[in-house]
Amino acid sequence: MEYLTVRETAEKWSLSPRMVQQFCMQGRIPGARKLGKFWTIPADAEKPRDPRILRKRDEEPASAAVMLDHTNLMPLMNTAFKPGRCLAAVEAMPAGTKRDIATAEYHYFSGKPAAAAKEAEPYLTSQDMGARLSACLIYAYANLSVGEIRRAQFALGELNAALTAAGQQSKQFQAASAFVAAAGAVLLHLPLPEGMPADTLDFLPMLPTGLRAFALYVQAHYLYLKGEYGPSAGIVEGVLTMGGADYPIPAIYLHLVAVMDYMCLKQTEQAKVHLLSAWEIARPDDLIEGFGEHHGLLGGMLESIIKAEWPEDFKRIIDITYRFSYGWRRVHNPVTGHNVADDLTTTEFTASMLAARGWTNQEIADHMHISLNTVKRYISTALEKLHISHRQELKQFMLL
């Protein structure tokens, strides 16, 4: 059988090489094979069809605009409720699609990914575009946490493909597609997919308030990845001041990215305020998933504050960290070519992260409430595991 390279296939199908590579990773090209770091594609392979998300199967012409009602687009994320009333807010929703999607959200954000994936799966082919986009986003992240990497990659591919075709659809659909595709990419520290608006202001006004707050968290996280910690923190402070704090799920994530920013700026007291604010919102409803997802970026704040006061909750957060980070790396590392450390304990990773940011051993010891010798041991062990000799080399393995 004759095989083509990714670039040759991209030219043949009039796609970008990155899109072809994503199709390969998502299992959407029968017969594609990975040889070392490179993919080969059968010369007679057919270009994957436009995904199901773009049209009702065999019912509408391709040119028909897809309308979207935001009612079922991440409804729990878009709901304002008092801490401790999350499940009551879900149960107050009318029986049907909205409540089903909100239930999947609740289970995901409370650290029950298997239940969330099971509940989202029936809506992956829904005719309701809000429900379908929501299901893909929930299904992708839930499957990362249960080790079903191919299923997660498939769902992420559906989100990116929806964005690719959104230009011919309604403004509401364009905004929703940009929102979920950005969330799918940025939280995994992947390149933004093709078709993403250059300026988030292009789609933010089309989103309801709660989703707009989470979209601004995604934007703040994106700025963090670019090293723009001050502007990122500024977005967070502005959103929380202007109503974002009324929506608990976006508020938790906004506070967490502020912790990341202020730790990079070595403003630990402000970081502590935001971590405790996030915890105060999350703990009454057990919405702890975000803490586990962000553990490696929080600069030891969980060890410094949560571990001593809430040891059982801390253990559960670390369990989430291990299972989520396993799936995260299986998606992130192959796409980016990076080699984020995958064999360090969470404490070794935290100490190494701070060291890579320029913290001294004494500063790390004081922050994590451990001895100077313990810090030295953690970093020495990390260097040994990563097969490097100097702490300056840690940066290539950290989430900086």
Q: pTM of the predicted model, to two decimals?
A: 0.78
Q: What is the dihedral of CA 76, 219, 275, 107, to 10 degrees?
A: 30
Does residue 278 contact residue 291 with C-beta atoms inside 8 Å?
Answer: yes
List the structure tokens of 187: 């939280």
- Is residue 353 scored above 90 in pLDDT? no
Nearest alpha-carbon partner for 348 in 369, 315, 376, 320: 376
Instruction: Return the minimum-mean-pLDDT range out of 30-39, 102-111, 245-254.
Output: 30-39
* 378 to 170, 298, 353, 361, 366: CA distances (angstroms): 53, 17, 11, 10, 14
Name the DSSP class of 93: S
3-state DSSP assignment of residue 33: strand
- Band of pLDDT at residue 399, cut at 50, 70 and 90: low
Instruction: Return the minimum-mean-pLDDT range out of 69-73, 199-203, 316-320.
Output: 199-203
Mean pLDDT confidence for 274-296: 95
3-state DSSP assignment of residue 378: helix
pLDDT tens figures, 370-380: 889 998 988 88
pLDDT tens figures, 297-310: 898 899 889 988 99
* Total residues found in the chain within this entry: 400
Instruction: Return the minimum-mean-pLDDT range out of 85-89, 313-317, 357-361.
Output: 357-361
Q: How far apart are CA 311 and CA 302, in angstroms?
A: 10
Q: What average pLDDT does the chain have?
A: 85
List the structure tokens of 197: 């608006």
Tell me, what's the pLDDT at 388?
82
Tell me, what's the pLDDT at 335?
60
Tell me, what's the pLDDT at 364?
86
- Is residue 111 scored above 90 in pLDDT? yes
Does residue 357 contact residue 400 with C-beta atoms inside 8 Å?
Answer: yes
Q: How far apart are CA 400 and CA 398, in angstroms?
A: 6
On the CB side of 78, how many CA atoms lie within 13 Å of its CA?
Answer: 21
pLDDT tens figures, 113-151: 999 999 999 998 888 889 999 999 999 999 999 999 889
- Is residue 382 scored above 90 in pLDDT? no
On the CB side of 375, how many CA atoms lie within 13 Å of its CA?
Answer: 22
Does residue 39 contact residue 9 with C-beta atoms inside 8 Å?
Answer: no
pLDDT tens figures, 43-102: 888 887 654 444 444 344 444 445 577 899 999 999 999 999 999 999 999 999 999 999
